[in-house]
Homo-oligomer: A and B are copies of this chain.
Amino acid sequence: MIGKAFAPSHITGFFYAHDDPDPLKMGSCGCGFTLEAGVHTASWPSNATEVYVDGMPSEASTTRTVIELLTDKPVHVESDMDMPVGGGFGASGAGAFSTALAVNRALGLGKTYNELSYAAHVAEVKNRTGLGDVAGMTLGGLVIRLVPGAPFTLDRIPVEAKDIYCVHFGPISTKSVLSDPREKALINEAGKKCLKELLRQPTFEQFMRLSRKFSVDTGLISPKALDTVEAVEAFDGMASMAMLGDTVFSTIPEGLSGNVIKSRISLCGARPIGANNE
């Protein structure tokens, strides 16, 4: 039995983190959006667990953790990614979440969607690859995370499937960013303010403005990324930095150079895919 699933990318515009000894309660609040660029995963029962990413055997620690959380049975898992890992696209979360959905089908585990999403969230937290991406992926769209951890307490800013352009410069070490206590405090203060402001005026444009401000006030944005944001703004577009990757996301392609990833906001979240890819 082959199980197939898809999970969209998720880009966070601003956030604040919440630590907790329980990985289910640990997470982040903030706001981000899902993209149609994402991760496709297929899985089937196997003699030993194997995880392939883009055709190569892979460590894929978050994916391996979610498999362990769901089953003792060995499975073959292969994921194909539309986006780079470490770029702030939530690739690890999308890999884990699509794997959870695919394995659930492949092995007939009979889990509900929430159960699978919580397993993927816990896998992310345990591997320190993300805090809020899986939550965003459960809904699709421009998702507001109101309370950290699971069960996910979410709202959305109504937005159509608009085009989003991304350019990725290189990875940022999430661990190093979040381990400096002063940086962490700065991020959390700025993130809380942003969320308050966004709820006063919950529009896409306000999200973009607050994200941009957050990226600068926290010092998280690289000089290259800031230059790129300003270049986009010179063409009357809106842009900011993906949290946490050296990636700029923009409403227009003008001002971006290099390998530009064009995608659209995905109003559909992570989901099973049928045998005929429906």
Contact = CB atoms under 8 A, between A and B. Distances in A.
Contacts of A278: 160-162, 264
Contacts of A155: 112-114
Interface in A135-151: 139-141, 144
A223 interface: no
A92 interface: no
Contacts of A139: 139
Contact of A267 (B158, B161, B268): B268
Interface stretch (A16-24, A48-56, A68-76, A269-277): A269-277
Contacts of A201: 110
Copies of this chain, count: 2
Given A268-B140, A268-B267, A274 B160 contact: yes
B271 A141 contact: yes
Given A160-B278, A267-B269, 14 more contacts: A105-B158, A112-B156, A112-B199, A113-B155, A113-B156, A113-B158, A116-B158, A139-B139, A140-B268, A158-B271, A160-B271, A160-B274, A161-B278, A264-B278
Interface of A: 4-5, 101, 104-105, 110-114, 116, 139-141, 144, 155-162, 199, 201-203, 264, 267-269, 271-274, 278
